[in-house]
Structure 1
Amino acid sequence: MARPVRHRGVAPSLRRNTAPSWAALVWRVLLVAGLIGIALAGHWIERDGLRDNIDGSISVVDVIYFTMITITTVGYGDIVPVTDGARLFDTFVVTPIRLFVWLIFLGSAYQFLLRGVLEKWKMRSIQRNLSAHTVVAGFGTSGEEAVSELIRRGADPQTIVVIDPRAEATAAAEAAGAVVIEGDATRNVTLEAVRANQASSILVSAGRDDTSILIVLTARRIAPDVPISVVIRSEDNEVLARQAGANTVINPASFAGLLLAGSRHGPHIADYLADLANAGGRVSLTERTVTADEIGQPLSAIRTGLGLRIYRGTEPYGYWDPQAASLMAGDVIVEVERRC
């Protein structure tokens, strides 16, 4: 059995902060106000330990002035602490407050100014390399297994883009090596950000049928020609998913039922089906377009594997059908190949 390929390194990400920016700004303002309040109260209590070199008296305005100047700078020397208590308060309380305030100022400047510029530049840089990639909308159980299977089959993790609104899900996808975007795949702007219209395929597994179908609708509008596969858990919703634009609808419960029913007629049937679907199996089920040298030959004569079915347009024909006796240009062959 082939061993899975492991990819190492840090994956790029296109993250979007879903928390409102004003909430973070308000929290920082309140924190700074609280720190200044502590320093102001301490200086007022120790006002007798301060000396004003201008008029010799310390007023409320002097305390406010000295506090703000001391927190934002090292002071101008017009008001100075002269007692041990005042100096110790400035040393062990005001100086750490000054450092915290400056860190908050710098962090706010980064988050609200520099970070936005850097993330836009980073997003454009990543988007330039997004072409013929695979978009995975939803990184739950099915989405995670799909990404793992794609990587085991040799796909470059950085050609896989995972969209999920949950931070823990995008973190797991990023750890697997995929490009991630923390956002809502039902929105046009999110699918446009990952260039869904230039993808080779879109895989949808949002965990809820209504969300998955809405993602399919949005994706089909953004990418009218890209193949879309979707996981649907209710049989009643399979038709809706196809009407929304999905090319392939997968029902995990139905597939599990097929395996169970197959095992009743023989212990090796379910094992063979799982072997076909697994990248580590001895055989693989593949799909390809007929080659020029195969035109006119029967499906049974192909040399790349065991031909099972052809698709001529939208019509499927089995190897027993007369249409499979002579392959035509444009036919799509479904075959079983020996895995190397």
Structure 2
Amino acid sequence: MNSSTSIAVSGTEGIMHSAPTAGFWGLMLGSIGVVYGDIGTSPLYAMRESVLAAVGAGNPASEPVVLGILSLVIWALLIVVTAKYVLLLLHADNNGEGGTLALMALAQRGLGRAGASIILLGIISGALFYGDAVITPALSVLSAIEGLKIVTPAFDPYVVPITVVILLALFLVQSRGTASIAAFFGPITLVWFITLASAGIWHVAQNPIVLTAINPLHGIEFLIAHRLVGFLTLGAVFLVVTGSEALYADLGHFGRRPIQAAWLFVALPALTINYLGQGALILADPKNIENPFFLLYPEWALLPTVVLATAATVIASQAVITGAYSLTQQAISLGLLPRFEIRHTSAA
């Protein structure tokens, strides 16, 4: 069955196609931009949404609440990303390839006839990724542009229009390909992670009690004390791991060791320090919950940070869009979707 609809595959392919021939450090730098772009922009909104889910808008957050949420955030990163993906799933490759459908095919071979039900799980998992690809660009870019309101309230009426323009431009360039700028994704995202860590360290030093959040008992006590609210807050906490599936999906492009090294030595420390810094900021003044990410930075650094955050969110959005294209291509090859015309715009 043929379809007249075409898919223009672009974005990070310029990096991905050259990845196998690059050295370890080049692969590691490339993976920082492509693999960790999405999860790297979660600090823009994840901490704020988690605290608001726990206490509600306009209510101050107590120290046990902040420490409990920080503990849940840290252990979500350690369990879901580090243990599940970095230490476990990266070793479950399908002939060197990763991703939801690659894992489905691997499980089918292992289970034999009983593996038929695995197809349904693969389809559901793919659908969840498509959902992530739909909401990530809008949520991430909007959260970055909201920093303009901190620079000056005069920008408030323009936040949504600016976001819409950026998103329209992002999707319009898909048909033309973005390989010419994809080489900058890794360096820009690396600078972003350095910026995350730099801002967090200062505020952690001002309020080092947040370091006790590494103790998982804070998170457990929070869930027990808040019951249903705690459970709902846990849903918001999992915003910190959105995009973590890219670790496995891009296994074939960058290899296991560069992806693991980029997470353990760059992304994980930077994210952890930044979340702890946001927690310290909220403890210092509960009013900072309005936008704890951008309030981490001094006034003179706000505008450059907004620009960098916007670039990081565009990179994250491009990576997840390209991931959706790749998932579609895999689904077509497995017969899970009708055949589409596929145009590799960045390969021209």
Q: TM-score range by the shorter chain?
A: under 0.3
Point out the structure with the larger strand share.
Answer: 1
Structure number with the bigger relative contact order (C-alpha 8 A, sep ≥ 6) is 2
Report the TM-score, using the length of structure 2 for normalisation: 0.23
Q: Larger radius of gyration, structure 1 or 2?
A: 1
Higher helix share: 2
When normalised by structure 1's length, the TM-score is: 0.23
